[in-house]
Structure 1
Amino acid sequence: MDLLDDENGSNAHDYTVSEISGAVKRVIEGEFGRVRVRGEVGRVSMPRSGHMYFDLKDDRSVIAAVSWKGQVAKMQVRPEEGMEVIATGRMTTFAGQSKYQLIVDNVEPAGAGALMAMLEARRKALAAEGLFDAGRKKPIPWLPQVIGVVTSPSGAVIRDILHRLADRFPRHVLIWPVAVQGQACAPEVARAVRGFNALAPGGEIPRPDLIIVARGGGSIEDLWGFNEEAVVRAVAESDIPVISAVGHETDTTLVDHAADRRAPTPTAAAEMAVPVRAELAAWLSEAQTRMMRAARGRLDQRGQRLRDLARGLGRPEALTQPARQSFDLWAERLGPALRTLVLRKNTRFAPLAAQISPNLLRRFIRDRSREIDGLSARLAPAPAARMRRATQDHTQLARRLDAARVRMIGDAQRRNRDGAERLAGLETRLDRSLPARLEAQRERLERLDRTRQTLGYTETLKRGYAVVRGPDGVVTSQGVAEKQPGLEIEFADGKLAVIPGGGGSATAPKPKKKKPDPGPSQGSLF
């Protein structure tokens, strides 16, 4: 009995926990090695260490997955919860929790449909927050002094932008180098946009008046960094107007919706940023010529008006002649009138002079002297008292004058400040109104051009119609067509000469001499 117990249990090898864990690890890694696993991303966790932990699942099972910090940095697309992906890596075990897991070094979306669905869901969520509203978009400055460009410094994009700016209107350009694809793209672009906004106006590094976010074309995976929420929020929160020039004309990212203006290409972004200097110079020259012509015309008009009025006034001699004649008449009467007046006064004075005696004059002088002495005694203290009153009045007036002067200076300074604020506001409105007006006129011209092309008879020919011409011009009825020796039928892709009733084509008859065809009418289908 003891021998049997020894044979059943005592000779079996005792494994340690580490030996069992190592054996399981070798079996799993040797059996599977490097694999590609398709599934839906479940819980995603990324602690401070920089490693990423997430789950891959289907309708029945779950596999734990982990990507180390270095692998996360190299990923083109970062997994998000609910996203269907194909994860590439190797199977291994984690002895600390007695479980197996997938070490993932690359993640790809499981088809463009899944990626686009995730992109559309993100677009709707950000749009619901109002980040894409047209009302929050800022106008592009008409002529920015400094332009900030967020792009890769080594690509062809920055060379195209700089070359186009140099051709149109050279400006001061600040380049913030960033990665334009990969995991580093989104944080670097967001940091660049916020960095430009953080620059202080008038600082050592000039603050841009306009920001261009640019990148060349590529696949949706290459452009995915510009669909990240961090980049979209940074662009939407920018106080500086932003032009998005990501990809080619057919490429659309979420940054395009958040930016204040979207350009189809980086070169087009440079064209939107600045006007053409030669065109501005020509416009200024034309405006100066028109101003000088208008001023000269106004002066000529005023001069002619003055000459017309002068002719209606008559000669100066005719206006002064009656007055001169009256003056001569009264001058002749003045001499005799003065002599008569003197004689009359002498006649009245003679009786009075006979009544005046020396004693009467002496008494009159004595009385007047006493009056003068009394007035002099009274007058002596009067100047001092008057001077005191004048000094007091002057002091009061000086105090009132100082207060009035301070008040007037304060009022003048306040009016100057108010005027400066109003002038700044008017200047800002003027700077904004001209680009808006130019843009409205350009859009109106484009609409009119599209209407012209739509209403032209060539567009009607493309819809299956034809123009029938005879020797005398356009034929519009069957009776007239049957009488023609030959007809020419114009289709959208060419012309065909036919003979009525002949059953086939023929050489087009030579038309009679007529007025030149003025071309397609904009108001007729033919």
Structure 2
Amino acid sequence: MSDSPATNALELSVSELSAALKRTVEDRFGFVRVRGEISNYRGPQPSGHAYFCLKDQSARIDAVVWKGVFGRLKTKPQEGLEVIATGKVTTFPGKSTYQIIVEALEPAGIGALMALLEERRRKLAAEGLFDEARKRSLPFLPSQIGVVTSPAGAVIRDILHRIAERFPRHVIVWPVRVQGETAAAEIAAAIDGFNALPEHGPMRRPDVIIVARGGGSLEDLWSFNEEIVVRAAARSVVPLIAAVGHETDWTLIDHAADLRAPTPTAAAEKAVPVRGELAAALADLARRQVGAAMRLLDRRRGDLRALLRALPQSDAIFSFRRQQFDSLASRLESARGKAHDRKHLDLVRLSHRLAQQSPHAQIAGKKQRFNAAHQRLSRWGVVGYGECRQNLAHIAARLAVARTARAKLERERMAAARHRLEALAGRLQHGFALRMTASRARLEGVEKLRLSLGYEGVLARGFALVRDESGKPVRKAAEVVEGKRLDIEFADGHTSAIAQSRKEPVPAKRTTGGGRRKREQGSLF
């Protein structure tokens, strides 16, 4: 008898039961919106998928974000962030658990948004995007203004009206959405687009950019808190004014912009000055400049009159200089006569010295000294020649005696060296013969020792040396492998054999024959 109770229930495998539960859960719930706090989030896996949990005070559910969906999420998962997840509930048969496949993720409530905003603000501030040192001043009177805002709202009309009222300038509007999923990407693209325009040409880069939006809740203004918008504002080379919301509304783009305006209308006022005020200021400056110039002319004219009164008459000025000129002219005439007489005396003195140093006088003196030297040389030539011949003869005799003595000494040295060389040659031949005799005796002794100790003597007594295929000697029968070729060396030659197992001992056969045996093949029995 069977111990199990009788039943008509259909038997299911584990896989069939898991599949049935999966279909039931997916058909019952489909897409749901779940609110909870993110837990156990460690970032996307190497595959690109992200795994975490959603929990509240008493329960938790596993969540999965696939790789393709993760890149499109407006709000990325963060540990401890309270969110609303939209997705499909399903099961995971591998662990018998249920989970939600997340398709969209958004912060839950104003508290979560504020926490996310503060975290993002600290992150961007740590990167230096909000530093005051990197912010630039606005141009005083821009010739072209770029506006990034929605073309359908009242903001653009207020900006255009205020600019036209204060100082009409050319305005380029880049239409974008200021709210919604694509708003942040459009705003960042507009800022980058204005910066990408050329500096010259019909459509050139504006001198200042205004990013504007009307008031709203934190959720409405959230696009201006996205990182993509803040980074685009920070890297803009064109000075940027942020005018988002009302005076009490603050977004992250306000910190990254070069100037923050409380309202879009205030942004227009900060972008351009008042034309009437500028005209009045210019007129006042022009009037003050003309008055200052007139006062300067009057003062210079009075100074000129005073100088003219203090200036003496022309006759009084030139009379003294004319008297000085006459005195200098008379002194110059007297000095010129004295200088002429002095130069004449110098010329006479130089002429006398030049006559003494003339070439003819010098040649005559040199000729007299040459004749005297020639006479002395002739007188001493005969005496000096005889003495030189005697000295040369004496030196030649001494050289002949020295050469004979030196030749005799060299011959004696050569004879002694030849005698020593012959003696050394005889000693070398005798020593070589003795060394060869001793070496030959040692070699014969070693050869006899080799013959007495070598294995060839053992082979000559009737023994044989067995080697395997590698040439290694085989010393034991256990080392022989059946079927392997063996090499057998006798005293008169080699033979090869194939190893075979034998249960009975094989009687040894005496091998006879004369001369050296040739190599042959056979079997070892």
The answer to whether structure 1 residue 163 and structure 2 residue 161 are counterparts is: yes
2:254 pairs with one of 244, 250, 256: 256
Given that 1:52 and 1:72 are in contact with CA atoms closer than 8 Å, whether structure 2 keeps it comes out as: no
2:81 pairs with one of 84, 88, 106: 84
- The equivalent residue for 1:172 is 170
- The equivalent residue for 2:182 is 184
Once the two structures are superposed, residues 343-379 of structure 1 have per-residue CA deviations (whole angstroms, 9 ceiling, x without a partner) of xxxxxxxxxxxxxxxxxxxxxxxxxxxxxxxxxxxxx
2:240 pairs with one of 235, 239, 242: 242
The answer to whether structure 1 residue 93 and structure 2 residue 87 are counterparts is: no
Given that 2:167 and 2:272 are in contact with CA atoms closer than 8 Å, whether structure 1 keeps it comes out as: yes
Matches within 5 A, 1:483-494: none
Q: How big is the shift at 1:295?
A: 1.5
Matches within 5 A, 1:409-448: none
- CA distance in 2: counterparts of 1:185 and 1:69, whole angstroms: 21
1:186 counterpart letter in structure 2: A
- The equivalent residue for 1:378 is none
Once the two structures are superposed, residues 50-104 of structure 1 have per-residue CA deviations (whole angstroms, 9 ceiling, x without a partner) of 998764245874421458989997x8x6243125224254652157867533355
- CA distance in 2: counterparts of 1:87 and 1:203, whole angstroms: 49
Distance 1:12-1:309 versus aligned 2 partners, 3 A rule: closer
- CA distance in 2: counterparts of 1:162 and 1:94, whole angstroms: 57
Given that 1:41 and 1:79 are in contact with CA atoms closer than 8 Å, whether structure 2 keeps it comes out as: no
The answer to whether structure 1 residue 63 and structure 2 residue 62 are counterparts is: yes
- The equivalent residue for 2:364 is none
- CA distance in 2: counterparts of 1:156 and 1:310, whole angstroms: 73
RMSD: 4.0
Distance 1:306-1:107 versus aligned 2 partners, 3 A rule: same
- CA distance in 1: counterparts of 2:29 and 2:4, whole angstroms: 36
Q: How big is the shift at 1:256?
A: 0.8
The answer to whether structure 1 residue 133 and structure 2 residue 131 are counterparts is: yes
Given that 2:150 and 2:175 are in contact with CA atoms closer than 8 Å, whether structure 1 keeps it comes out as: yes
Given that 1:40 and 1:83 are in contact with CA atoms closer than 8 Å, whether structure 2 keeps it comes out as: yes
Given that 1:65 and 1:104 are in contact with CA atoms closer than 8 Å, whether structure 2 keeps it comes out as: yes
- The equivalent residue for 1:309 is 307
Matches within 5 A, 1:190-209: 190-209=188-207
- CA distance in 2: counterparts of 1:227 and 1:202, whole angstroms: 33
Q: How big is the shift at 1:18?
A: 6.2
- CA distance in 2: counterparts of 1:67 and 1:167, whole angstroms: 54
Matches within 5 A, 1:120-519: 120-313=118-311
Once the two structures are superposed, residues 445-464 of structure 1 have per-residue CA deviations (whole angstroms, 9 ceiling, x without a partner) of xxxxxxxxxxxxxxxxxxxx
- CA distance in 2: counterparts of 1:273 and 1:18, whole angstroms: 71
Q: How big is the shift at 1:285?
A: 1.0
Q: How big is the shift at 1:321?
A: 13
Once the two structures are superposed, residues 419-444 of structure 1 have per-residue CA deviations (whole angstroms, 9 ceiling, x without a partner) of xxxxxxxxxxxxxxxxxxxxxxxxxx
Distance 1:26-1:68 versus aligned 2 partners, 3 A rule: farther
Q: How big is the shift at 1:300?
A: 2.1
Q: How big is the shift at 1:251?
A: 0.7
Q: How high is the TM-score relative to the length of structure 2?
A: 0.52
Local SS of the residue matching 2:232: helix
Once the two structures are superposed, residues 210-267 of structure 1 have per-residue CA deviations (whole angstroms, 9 ceiling, x without a partner) of 1111111111111122112222122111111111111111011111111111000011
Once the two structures are superposed, residues 96-154 of structure 1 have per-residue CA deviations (whole angstroms, 9 ceiling, x without a partner) of 86753335566443443332222222212221222111111111111111111111122
Local SS of the residue matching 2:174: strand
- The equivalent residue for 1:358 is none
Q: How big is the shift at 1:208?
A: 1.2
Number of aligned residues: 319
Distance 1:295-1:90 versus aligned 2 partners, 3 A rule: closer
Local SS of the residue matching 2:248: coil
1:137 counterpart letter in structure 2: K
- CA distance in 2: counterparts of 1:54 and 1:179, whole angstroms: 33
Once the two structures are superposed, residues 301-353 of structure 1 have per-residue CA deviations (whole angstroms, 9 ceiling, x without a partner) of 2223333334445788x979999xx9xxxxxxxxxxxxxxxxxxxxxxxxxxx
2:90 counterpart letter in structure 1: T
Distance 1:321-1:162 versus aligned 2 partners, 3 A rule: closer
- CA distance in 2: counterparts of 1:118 and 1:89, whole angstroms: 19
- The equivalent residue for 1:444 is none
- CA distance in 1: counterparts of 2:311 and 2:174, whole angstroms: 76
Given that 1:40 and 1:57 are in contact with CA atoms closer than 8 Å, whether structure 2 keeps it comes out as: yes
Distance 1:44-1:272 versus aligned 2 partners, 3 A rule: farther
- CA distance in 2: counterparts of 1:41 and 1:242, whole angstroms: 39
Given that 2:83 and 2:112 are in contact with CA atoms closer than 8 Å, whether structure 1 keeps it comes out as: no
- CA distance in 2: counterparts of 1:116 and 1:78, whole angstroms: 13
Bigger relative contact order, structure 1 or 2 (CA pairs below 8 A, ≥6 apart): 1
Distance 1:151-1:26 versus aligned 2 partners, 3 A rule: same
Local SS of the residue matching 1:21: helix
Distance 1:27-1:257 versus aligned 2 partners, 3 A rule: closer
Q: How high is the TM-score relative to the length of structure 1?
A: 0.52
- CA distance in 2: counterparts of 1:321 and 1:228, whole angstroms: 89
- CA distance in 2: counterparts of 1:72 and 1:320, whole angstroms: 98
Q: How big is the shift at 1:274?
A: 0.5
Given that 1:244 and 1:255 are in contact with CA atoms closer than 8 Å, whether structure 2 keeps it comes out as: yes
More displaced, 129-138 or 30-39?
Answer: 30-39
Taking only the aligned residue pairs, the percentage that are identical comes to 50
Local SS of the residue matching 2:241: strand
Local SS of the residue matching 1:37: strand
- The equivalent residue for 1:109 is 107
- The equivalent residue for 1:344 is none
Local SS of the residue matching 2:209: strand
2:62 counterpart letter in structure 1: I
1:250 counterpart letter in structure 2: T
Q: How big is the shift at 1:178?
A: 1.8
Local SS of the residue matching 2:173: strand
- CA distance in 1: counterparts of 2:154 and 2:242, whole angstroms: 17
- The equivalent residue for 1:518 is none
Local SS of the residue matching 2:128: coil
- CA distance in 1: counterparts of 2:192 and 2:92, whole angstroms: 45
- CA distance in 1: counterparts of 2:280 and 2:230, whole angstroms: 40
Q: Gaps (5+ residues) in structure 1?
A: 327-526
Higher CA-based Rg: 2
1:210 counterpart letter in structure 2: V
